[in-house]
Structure 1
Amino acid sequence: MARYGRLTAMTILPETDVARIQEWCSARVPEHARDQVRVEADIAERHVTIVECRPPWRPEAGPEWTRLPVARLRYTKSTKKWSLYWRDRNLKFHIYDRLPADTDVDVLLTEINQDPTAIFWG
């Protein structure tokens, strides 16, 4: 039940990389826990935002799940490289300077997964 953007003519993101990011998000949470937490990819024209989603913690909070951005992967068409960004407490994104931009999106997904600085998952 992930909410993914659609690749359109305006989107410059490589389709195979976007599919890889979506697969990574789906694999992040075991099937039995997906009613408690999900990881989704919100696709924009030049970036993909990894989002952690949680159900309402109280019935009066409503039916909508909360969505908290975890990381952003930004694509530069001229270099064909992905850059990794982290989110601060004010929901602003900043370049993750411990890892250079890379043509292989899996390198960045591995860094998010390992989270050596605890900046993505806490």
Structure 2
Amino acid sequence: MSFSEFEVKKIERAAAEFLEAIRPPVHIRPQLDIDVRFSGQSVSVVEIRPHFREPSTTIESMVAKATYVEEAKHWKIYWMRSDLKWHLYTPAPESRTIEEFFAIVREDKNCCFFG
């Protein structure tokens, strides 16, 4: 099941506010940028940068993911570890709202999302 039109608008609004606060200045974005993507029941935060050997190619690294659990009415929060697998973010494994998820990623208490 994917998000309803209302939920998509709510996620887009929260993502825009998050990106406004966290994205680097415009002149740095060709070298490092942050974006939010969503599909199915998940919302992901992605870091975008040029490939170090082929600067004309970009690399997208998954940073954080929230998956909505309909039955429990909350978002499960994950971070991408160096083994390239999603792991539950133990300081705050879930959030009630998408805004809370973005706040947790922005705070990054354990430096799991952005190092």
Q: TM-score, normalising length from structure 1?
A: 0.77
Q: TM-score, normalising length from structure 2?
A: 0.81
| Identity within the alignment, % | 25
Shift of 1:48: 1.3
Stretches of 4+ moved more than 4 A in 1? none
Q: Corresponding residue for 1:11?
A: 2
- Which is richer in strand? 2
1:85 maps onto 2:78 in alignment? yes
Shift of 1:119: 1.0
1:120 maps onto 2:113 in alignment? yes
Shift of 1:100: 4.4
Shift of 1:26: 4.8
Q: Corresponding residue for 1:49?
A: 44
Q: Distance in 1 between matches of 2:102 and 2:59?
A: 22
Aligned length: 111
- Map of 1:21-60 to 2, 5 A cutoff? 21-29=15-23, 30-58=25-53
Q: Corresponding residue for 1:99?
A: 92
Structure 2 CA distance for partners of 1:91 and 1:17, relative to 1, 3 Å: farther
Shift of 1:22: 4.3
Structure 1 letter corresponding to 2:22: R
Give the superposed CA RMSD: 2.0
Q: Distance in 1 between matches of 2:50 and 2:55?
A: 9
Gaps in structure 1 of 5+ consecutive residues: 1-9
Structure 2 CA distance for partners of 1:62 and 1:54, relative to 1, 3 Å: closer
Gaps in structure 2 of 5+ consecutive residues: none
